[in-house]
């Protein structure tokens, strides 16, 4: 009988910790998916900017817009950054383990923390490449108005 109370206390505490870890895992998963959803919403913008950069390049080639040869290098770099961001997103989605919750609790939480870091890097690459392309196109349009 004197061991019953400590054993029950251990079981209750372990159960509470287990439940808290599960909730923590679910919250982490929601955070990861929220960042993913924000990044996915930018995929169309990436495609649009790649097309706008190609169109601008064609206008320079056709002589519709005056620009030096360095503009082609800049456009190529911007398109490459947009493509890299797109590829990072595709790779992240392809490699994300949707069965993270079948792992041991601590392993699942560690996995989600790692994935949160990775998807934040993807989002940052997308944000930066989009901003750079938009700035270039805006500056180019102002130069030729």
Per-residue pLDDT, 67: 80
Asked whether the whole model's pTM tops 0.85, one would answer no
Q: Whole-angstrom Cα distance, residue 136 to residue 11?
A: 62
* 77 contact partners, CB below 8 Å, separation of at least 6: none
Instruction: Confirm if 133 and 80 have CB atoms less than 8 A apart.
Output: no
DSSP per residue, 112-126: HHHHHHHHHHHHHHH
Are 122 and 75 within 8 A, CB to CB? Answer: no
Residue boundaries of the structural domains of the chain: 22-143
Report how far residue 82's alpha carbon sits from residue 101's, in angstroms, rounded to the nearest whole number: 32
pLDDT in tens, the chain (145 residues): 555 454 444 444 444 444 555 568 899 999 999 999 999 999 999 999 999 999 999 998 888 878 878 899 999 999 999 999 999 999 999 999 999 889 998 999 999 999 999 999 999 999 999 999 999 999 987 665 5
């Amino acid at each position: 009988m004197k061991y019953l109370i400590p054993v029950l206390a251990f079981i209750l505490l372990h159960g509470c910790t287990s439940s808290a870890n599960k909730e923590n895992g679910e919250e982490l998963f929601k955070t990861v998916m929220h960042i993913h959803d924000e990044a996915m919403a930018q995929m169309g913008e990436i495609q649009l900017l790649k097309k706008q950069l190609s169109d601008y390049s064609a206008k320079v080639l056709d002589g519709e817009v005056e620009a030096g040869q360095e503009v082609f290098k800049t456009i190529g770099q911007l398109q490459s950054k947009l493509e890299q961001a797109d590829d990072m997103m595709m790779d992240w989605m392809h490699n994300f383990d949707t069965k993270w919750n079948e792992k041991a609790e601590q392993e699942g939480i560690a996995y989600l923390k790692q994935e949160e870091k990775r998807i934040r890097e993807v989002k940052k690459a997308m944000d930066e490449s989009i901003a750079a392309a938009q700035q270039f196109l805006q500056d180019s349009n102002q130069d030729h108005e």
